[in-house]
Amino acid sequence: MVDASRRGFFRGRPKALPAQRPPWARPEAEFIARCTRCNECIAACPTGIVVAGDGGFPTIDFKRGECTFCRRCVDACAPQALTRPSEDTQPWALVAQLGDACLPRHGVECRICGEHCDARAIRFQPRLGGSPEPQIDSERCTGCGACVAPCPVNALSVS
């Protein structure tokens, strides 16, 4: 039998890297306290990027697709672990990050991520003697994750 303290342990925050919660999530401790793991946000997400993560709490997986900021997950969250108090409330502060695996850094031409970025946050700077390298404009990037899955070498992450 699991005693109350152990149940509290299982509801605790995962010890690994902090999970990325769905957009408009409350701060992590509040989110964990409110989320009942009902999976309604998972069912509501049309792009399928909300998955059950550690402890069954919803987590974003950008390898499955992008966030369109449709807010269906927020609307589905009865205990308001996800909440959007005003029109101006930003979904999150995420920005795409470029890793060393990026093909142009190894002399291979590639512009796939730029073709998937509706926000036009990825620009390719010409380089003398090399393939143009992507540069991410953090002011424009919405953290939607649309660039992550198409990258053939998993060079992009969003954090």
Where on the chain is the footprint of ligand SF4 (CB under 6 A)?
22-23, 44-45, 47, 49-50, 67-73, 96, 98, 102-104, 110-113, 116-117, 119, 121-122, 134, 136, 141-147, 151, 153, 155-156, 158
Those residues whose C-beta lies under 8 Å from the C-beta of residue 116, and which sit 6 or more positions away, are 146, 147, 150
Smallest distance from the beta carbon of 154 to ligand SF4, in angstroms?
8
Smallest distance from the beta carbon of 29 to ligand SF4, in angstroms?
21
Q: How many CB atoms within 10 Å of residue 102?
A: 19
Q: How many CA within 13 A on the CB side of residue 7?
A: 5
Name the residue among 125, 141, 142, 42 with its Cα closest to residue 82.
42
Smallest distance from the beta carbon of 3 to ligand SF4, in angstroms?
35
Tokens of 55: 């402890």
Q: Identify which of residues 25 and 32 has a Cβ nearer to ligand SF4 in the complex.
A: 25
Q: Identify which of residues 12 and 78 has a Cβ nearer to ligand SF4 in the complex.
A: 78
